[in-house]
Structure 1
Amino acid sequence: MAKGKGQKGKKITLKIAMNSIRVAFDGGLRLDLSKMGITTFPKCILKLTDVDELDLSRNMIKKIPSSIENFQKLRWLDLHSNQLEELPKTIGTLQNLFYLNICNNKLTTKNLPEELNLLKNLHILNLGLNCLDSIPTSLGALKELRELGLFDNALTTIPNSVKKLPKLKKLNTERNPFPDSTKQEEHADPIKRIETLYLVQEKDLCCSCLKMCQDERDKLKKLNNMTPSPSKKPSFPLLLTPNSVAKDNQEEWRLSSEHP
């Protein structure tokens, strides 16, 4: 039984986990344990390793165990918005992984396993909102990668091996302390940025994100207050409304029908 606790202090049991399995759009099995208040990886889900998708996002998990390698069928893994400081090396054994989101955690470059370069079928990788000061050149081995999120880190450069990935279409490097932003933009020009929208409640936002949202909302309110009021709606008293015409015509038809 898992040590992780969900809302109201309830433990994540095998029964709860089984009831959280859904059928994905493509017919695969999706285990959704997002936003459950889990602090420890639930060991009970190791009995459900036949799922195709695993969502543990928006929890408070600090560590993913090496036993994640048991999920060999996994194609979709979402760990965003936790408190992860490292990833196990065994994550590189998930050869079927297509999507990996580890955005908004506490990952550093030192604790980013080199084994990520073994995920040969990976199409989407999101590393945004972490504590990365550099990107391993070994990620250039991900030849199938289409989308890469590196925004809101401490990066000063992007390796050529990553920028020149043959199938990379979307790259988001915004809000990194690049020494020459113009030069970075030149490299990013042919690559579209990742634009992902997450809808969350205010209580799930960190202090800085909440303040930023509140500031933007205040700006929007001020802008709306400055917008001139619309002019008075024009009226056309001489025009008959369609209903009045229809009513007159209907009355004429009724009278003519009654008195042929």
Structure 2
Amino acid sequence: MPPKGKGPQGKRITLKTAKNAVRVLFNGRRRLELSKMGIATFPKCLLELADVEEIDLSRNMLRKIPNIIEKFQNLVWLDLHSNQIDELPPEIGTLKNLTFLNLCNNKLTTKGLPEELTQLRNLRTLNLGLNCLESIPTTLGSLRELIELGLFDNSLTLIPKSVKKLPKIERMNVKRNPLPEFAKEEEPIDTVKRVESLYLVEKKDLCTICLQTCQGERSELHKLEDMTPGPSDKPSFPLLTTPNSTARDNQEEWRMKEEEEKEIKEEVEEEEEENDNP
């Protein structure tokens, strides 16, 4: 006969033990920390602490979550990872304040996910990785506040469009699922702002339009460089051997032409005056 409190029923948790396991976090929330306690059955004595905001029952031997979970209406954070849970009670959907739910590394099947799970409209993190899921309910697309979704290490062959298009999703882990190749190309969620990258290619790899565009942009860049003084104190005139003397000669030629045009204009005006006054 196994010792009292041990054996198939797991470790017995008393109310005193549970009260001593309550921790006050830096944000003022109270967390009931019962991780790695050998618990096989949800302790009913926890109902005396139903006003806590967070519960950690991870790394135990739980197979079922009872319907009394609905009594924990203040719950914001619930960690049940690494247990033996194969289904959730419909009452899980009554936890309207829940923002974090970790069910990773259990034995959940698709049938074990109640439709009421979609009533958790404030949920931001949902981890269903390392379970036995063959499909994901399309109704999970109603969790419009969801930011993180873990679906890794299951038996999924399809991610519903309603889930992939969740408006606030930033991280969706679907690794190690038998998803078809075309689905794998579609599945990554654009969780990070796109960064423009620079790639170097040879001219022969560009189409005619792209090549013309690049050449046009290069010409504009060269014009801008010619208009912008270089780092040297002296300006560069690659097409002129003696820029100053050439400029002076041109100025002298322009000045002479201007004076000749002025003289011709004056002579024409004088002739017009003489003709007007015979």
TM-score with structure 1 setting the length: 0.69
Whether 1:20 and 2:21 are equivalent positions in the alignment is yes
Contact map agreement 1:54 1:78 (CA 8 A) in 2: yes
AA in 2 matched with 1:187: E
Matched residue of 1:110: which SS? Answer: helix
Contact map agreement 1:4 1:38 (CA 8 A) in 2: no
1:46 positional shift: 0.8
1:77, 1:187 → 2: CA distance? Answer: 27
2:94, 2:183 → 1: CA distance? Answer: 36
Contact map agreement 2:87 2:113 (CA 8 A) in 1: yes
What does residue range 69-108 of structure 1 map to in structure 2 within 5 Å? 69-108=70-109
Q: Which moved more, 1:68-77 or 1:182-191?
A: 182-191
What does residue range 59-208 of structure 1 map to in structure 2 within 5 Å? 59-180=60-181, 182-188=182-188, 190-191=190-191
Matched residue of 1:188: which SS? Answer: coil
Contact map agreement 2:11 2:40 (CA 8 A) in 1: no
Structure 1 alignment gaps of length 5 or more: 193-260
1:163 positional shift: 0.3
1:91 positional shift: 0.3
AA in 1 matched with 2:165: K
AA in 2 matched with 1:184: K
1:212 is matched with none
- CA offsets per residue over residues 168-226 of structure 1, 9 Å max, x none? 0000000000122x53233305236xxxxxxxxxxxxxxxxxxxxxxxxxxxxxxxxxx
Contact map agreement 2:169 2:189 (CA 8 A) in 1: no
Q: Which moved more, 1:121-130 or 1:182-191?
A: 182-191
Q: Which moved more, 1:182-191 or 1:57-66?
A: 182-191
2:205 is matched with none
2:57, 2:121 → 1: CA distance? Answer: 23
1:111 positional shift: 1.2
- CA offsets per residue over residues 143-184 of structure 1, 9 Å max, x none? 00000000000000100000000000000000000122x532
Contact map agreement 1:77 1:101 (CA 8 A) in 2: yes
TM-score with structure 2 setting the length: 0.65
Aligned length: 187
More helix by share: 2
Contact map agreement 1:23 1:29 (CA 8 A) in 2: yes
What does residue range 6-45 of structure 1 map to in structure 2 within 5 Å? 11-45=12-46
Residues 48, 161 of structure 1: alpha-carbon distance in 2 compared, 3 angstrom cutoff: same
Residues 88, 98 of structure 1: alpha-carbon distance in 2 compared, 3 angstrom cutoff: same
Q: What is the alpha-carbon root mean square deviation over aligned residues?
A: 1.7
- CA offsets per residue over residues 67-104 of structure 1, 9 Å max, x none? 00000000000000000011000000000001000000
1:4 positional shift: 7.5
Percentage of matched positions with identical amino acids: 67
Aligned structure 1 segments of 4 or more residues deviating by more than 3 angstroms: 3-6
1:132, 1:10 → 2: CA distance? Answer: 29
1:46 is matched with 47
Larger Rg belongs to: 2
